């Protein structure tokens, strides 16, 4: 029987699609929830074998911050899965291809996802655009330098916290790589916290009466808390809109009583925390891991939206097997981006362009590994200068 790819329209279909996703992922804890609370109408695609949902791919409407501070329309891809009985039939390929066509038809400029497996999505034009790392701070050794800003005021909202409060802060995020957090995302976070057997603590930072940061953290191994030689709290969400908020939240976390270690689930690769402490070895950084897998849905709009450095220009040829409207050459400069018929300096596929787009990967490194066809050797230096960024991109949001 042929497989039909179409939007899931009824609550029964949406929940069936979500159950397929959970079954495909094997290890996720969610079971008894209504997936219609987490999804947006019309965006959840299903693969149906007859009237049975056997595969699914979902996305959220939102924005992504690109170098220069602009926000571009963004599809946050999630809930992708196929039943084990229907693998190796091209169902994921059909779902993702349909999803990209739908995103293009809606005028969305980019899409991104978090990959459960690292070898699936490059063939669909996705490239690793941001990375992250964990960190463990030993409070016995950690002390902030005297020069670190004092920060503003902290208030504890463990019992009164609302999505409106947290979203009101995160919605103003302006760092490169930040993405919109939709209502369904916030709802899932609340479900997770409510289902957890331990308390989640929430500290909100304010500067001159304006909320500009927050940290959510929880204790680990509470059953042995008072006898543990290393009492640890894990920061699961850390949002700071400016240096003052960041410093104020650090001061709160590093001064917690009865705590030996503060662990951060995810920090940017160039996070300044190690520079802020007197004993740099008090901050143990974990290995880098891929975070945002980015897909440029509208290459021309994406290239025009971001900022560039310097006065150089370069002609970049882009090839896109799934969205051929992106095929062509683009003259890129700090003042303008336009399609051109001029001979290209460099040629890339759309996944390689996505890896470099936010500034998280250098063009010279891509060229050195053969992922860029170089027609003019000097162009590699020019495009690296154009795409240079002050800070490495980071999302800080898992979906």
Catalytic residues: 121, 399
The rounded Cα 220 to chain-centroid distance in angstroms is 25
DSSP 148: S
Strands 131-138 and 289-290: antiparallel
The structure tokens 């005297």 sit at: 146
Strands 289-290 and 293-296: unpaired
Cα–Cα separations (whole angstroms), residue 320 to 122, 159, 350? 12, 49, 5
Task: Identify the CA nearest to 330 among candidates 390, 396, 379.
Answer: 379
The residues, any chain, with a CB within 8 Å of residue 360's CB and separated by 6 or more, are 128, 129, 130, 131, 177, 392, 393
Angle at 131 between CA 123 and CA 382, to 5 degrees: 75
């Amino acid at each position: 029987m042929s497989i039909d790819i179409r939007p899931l329209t009824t609550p029964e279909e949406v929940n069936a699609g979500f159950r397929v996703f959970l079954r495909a992922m094997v290890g996720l804890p969610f079971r008894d929830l209504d997936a219609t609370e987490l999804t947006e109408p019309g965006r959840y695609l299903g693969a149906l074998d007859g009237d049975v949902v056997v595969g699914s791919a979902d996305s959220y409407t939102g924005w992504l911050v690109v170098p220069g501070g602009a926000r571009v329309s963004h599809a946050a891809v999630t809930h992708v899965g196929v039943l084990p009985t229907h693998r190796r039939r091209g169902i994921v390929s059909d779902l993702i291809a349909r999803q990209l066509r739908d995103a293009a038809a809606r005028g969305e400029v980019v899409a991104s996802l978090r990959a459960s497996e690292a070898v699936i999505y490059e063939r669909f034009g996705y490239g690793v655009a941001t990375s992250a790392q964990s960190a463990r701070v030993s409070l016995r050794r950690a002390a902030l330098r005297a020069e670190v800003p004092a920060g503003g005021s902290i208030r504890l909202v463990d019992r009164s916290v609302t999505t409106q409060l947290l979203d009101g802060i995160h919605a103003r995020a302006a760092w490169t790589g930040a993405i919109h957090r939709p209502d369904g995302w916030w709802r899932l976070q609340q479900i997770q916290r409510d289902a957890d057997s331990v308390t989640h603590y929430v500290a909100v930072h304010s500067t001159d009466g304006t909320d500009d940061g927050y940290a959510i953290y929880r204790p680990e191994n509470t059953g042995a808390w008072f006898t543990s030689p290393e009492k640890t709290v894990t920061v699961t969400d850390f949002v700071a809109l400016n240096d003052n908020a960041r410093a104020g939240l650090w001061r709160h976390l590093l001064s917690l009583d009865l705590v030996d270690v503060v662990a951060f689930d995810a920090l940017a690769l160039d996070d300044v925390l190690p520079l802020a402490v007197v004993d740099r070895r008090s901050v143990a950084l974990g290995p880098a891991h891929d975070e945002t897998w980015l897909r440029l849905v509208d290459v021309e709009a994406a290239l025009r939206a971001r900022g560039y450095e310097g006065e150089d220009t370069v002609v970049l040829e882009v090839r896109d097997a799934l969205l051929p409207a992106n095929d062509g050459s683009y003259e890129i400069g700090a003042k303008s981006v336009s399609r051109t018929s001029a001979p290209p300096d460099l040629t890339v596929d759309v996944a390689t362009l996505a890896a470099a787009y936010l500034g998280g990967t250098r063009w010279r490194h891509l060229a050195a590994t053969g992922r860029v066809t170089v027609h003019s050797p000097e162009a590699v230096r020019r495009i690296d200068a154009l795409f240079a960024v002050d800070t490495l991109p980071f999302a800080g949001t898992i979906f």
